[in-house]
Amino acid sequence: MTKDDVKSNAALAGVGSMATRLLLAGLAEQYERETGQRLTVAAIGGVEAARRVQAGAAFDFAVLASAAIDRLAAGGHLVGARMDVVRSGMAAAVAAGAAHPDIGTEDALRETMLRAARIGYSTGPSGDHLLRLVERWGVAETLRPRLVMARPGVPVASLIAAGEVEIGFQQLSELKDVPGVEVIGPLPAGAQLVTVFSAAICAVSQQRQAAADFLAFLGSARVEATKRAFGMEPAGSAAYGP
């Protein structure tokens, strides 16, 4: 297929979670520049994205947490093989200029959270994981009044920058390079959650081959550096361990 052939096609429409919004926007722009294929990618909360795909919204592909992709595929809303795109770990962040508390071990992370006045977390897998951590540590009752959940689609970084929370936890990709926010570092072993974001073609797509071509681009080795630049690791990377 030539670049002129691709240009004659309608724009591909995709949907992704907020954690991958900047990465997908950057890769979509690169792909369009290289091939002429127009793309639009809606970035919304993962739960809402899955609901729209399930409802038959006119998307050609979806990039969501692998568990969500598997559920949608099992329900017949996605077709073809799942393609794992990136692995994304959680990190902690504070306001720019604030002291960086110790989160180097699970015990240190627990003590840092117990000292924090207000703690930001998100909806979705990373927020669920944080709640499970405090339950496992036996400090849920102590910390629950201090936990501030960002609204769906709102990054925790915005709560940190606005001074609404003292420390916040979310995917590294959603905390890095945000004005007014400094990343302390990734969560330590034992407390870390690595989410695999995967892609698949929507059953309602009328442009399945074009969608498959873009997904192949997302999984190609030549975009690995771009994934790392946006705070994620290629799906086959061992950066966060097995």
What is residue 4's predicted lDDT score, i.e. its pLDDT? 42
Q: How many CA atoms lie within 13 A of 79 on its CB side?
A: 13
Cβ contact 206:187 at 8 Å: no
Q: How many CA atoms lie within 13 A of 137 on its CB side?
A: 23
For the segment 46-70, what is each residue's pLDDT rounded down to a tens digit?
889 999 999 999 999 999 999 999 9
Among candidate residues 114, 120, 66, 62, the one with its CA nearest the CA of residue 90: 120
Among candidate residues 89, 98, 88, 83, the one with its CA nearest the CA of residue 165: 98
What is residue 125's predicted lDDT score, i.e. its pLDDT? 82
CA dist 155 and 169 (Å) reads 10
**Can you list the domains of the chain with their CATH numbers?**
3-87+196-234 (3.40.190.10), 89-186 (3.40.190.10)
In degrees, to the nearest 5, what angle opens at C-alpha 56 toward C-alphas 55 and 58?
135
For the ranges 76-80, 105-109, 202-206, 232-236, the lowest mean pLDDT is seen at: 232-236
Using CA atoms of 222, 29, 46, 150 in order, give the dihedral in degrees to the nearest 10: 110
Residue 3 predicted with pLDDT over 50? no
Model-level pTM? 0.83
CA dist 102 and 72 (Å) reads 39
For the segment 75-133, what is each residue's pLDDT rounded down to a tens digit?
999 999 999 999 999 999 999 999 999 999 999 999 999 999 999 999 878 899 999 99
Among candidate residues 61, 78, 55, the one with its CA nearest the CA of residue 15: 61
What is residue 152's predicted lDDT score, i.e. its pLDDT? 77
What is the percent of the chain where pLDDT is above 70? 94
